[in-house]
Amino acid sequence: MIRMMQDGRLRQKDSHLERTAENRMILFSGRGYPELADCIAERLDLSLGEVEITKFSNGEMYARYEESVRGADVFIIQSLGEPVNDNLMELLVMIDAAKRASAASIVAVIPWYAYSRQDRKSKPREPVTARLVANMIQVAGAARVMTMDLHVGQIEGFFSFPVDHLTAMHTFVDHFVGRGFRDAEDAVVVAPDTGEVKVARRLAGHLGLPLAIVNKIRRHPGQSEVTHVIGDLEGRRAIMIDDIIDTGGTTVRAAESLLEEGATEVYAAATHAVFSGTAYERIEESPIKEVVVTDTLPLKRDEPQSKIHVLTIAPILANTIRNVFSDDSVSEVFMGENQLF
């Protein structure tokens, strides 16, 4: 564009504006597990962003960011624990608010991905709710999902954008190495069902231990029956590794079967401590020596926890968030072993 100056000379006006602002990362937390979000933010040397989250009198969810997110890379940390449906809807509303506020990208950090056990139809006229939740997150406006130890790897395929499927495997390995299990002649790793064989084999490989398998029949959701144990348990300490402990019934029955087969002690490990119903009391009264879980979900403070040992996954999530923001490799966080399936 040409314009006339006061002295009669012509001057060319700039035809463009240069964007000089650097990329910004902002972390926000829903109300699903703010303590974990605080730990992640602390490890990243950041403060959590301010967001107003309330409910209308009829239960409808409302969220409003109290600072600008325009052009920022927004990470929303929300674990889908109890109340599951409230926390899920809260996440969707926060994603939509960030999208409408012109965030450059939105990453949903979901340590516990609820509905992951409904990943296929096992009976006629059933839903595939894990896919439904993936669709809702995608439609809301997320561009990426970060989660821990999905129930089955196929859930990654329910999304058409990147999914960072993280694992707590090395956290468990470090714990049991500290307990003296590495290359121990009197120890064994046990898969509590055939679906966990690959994960149990990976843990057994890291610890240098043999593998055993518990065979069970699942008659109804949350109810199963142990039929037999494959492998040598006589005189050995056993580690059962699973992704979820829900009511604790299956875990306790499997532990009792291992002791009947000659195991001297039974340890249980699981990434997600759902612990619904009477799980806390059941674990407390069981013959299990120790239940090792991560903090993808908060424990209930008023329940017995003397046998429960919690390992934090905040460093894993913080390092992964940092690498995603800086476009570095996520696999480097896990030394190339972030895929278990």
Strands 61-65 and 51-55: antiparallel
Distance, in Å, from the CA atom of 73 to the CA atom of 325, rounded to the nearest integer, reads: 7
Phi-psi region of 237 (alpha: psi -120 to 50; beta: other; left: phi over 0): beta
Rounded-to-5 percentages of helix, strand, coil across the chain: 30, 25, 45
Determine whether 13 is an active site residue.
no
Catalytic residue among 198, 216, 289, 300: 216
Pair of tokens at residue 92: 């969707």
CB–CB of 81/91 below 8 Å? no
**Among 263, 141, 280, 148, CA closest to 210:** 263
151: nearest Cα among 308, 272, 275, 313: 272
Tokens 């109290």 -> residue: 66
Residue-wise DSSP of 108-157: EEESS-TTTT--S-SSTT---HHHHHHHHHHHHT-SEEEEES-SSGGGGG
Task: State the DSSP H helix or E strand holding residue 217, giving kind and residue range, or none if neither.
Answer: strand 211-220
Contact indicator for 24, 30 with CB cutoff of 8 Å = no
Is the preceding peptide bond at 83 cis, omega within 30 degrees of 0?
yes
Measured in degrees and rounded to the nearest 5, phi and psi for residue 113 equal -90, 100
Residue with tokens 């035809």: 15
In this structure, what token pair is assigned to residue 311? 């390992």
With a CB cutoff of 8 Å and minimum separation 6, the contacts of 333 are 166, 316, 319, 320, 323
* Residues assigned a catalytic role: 216
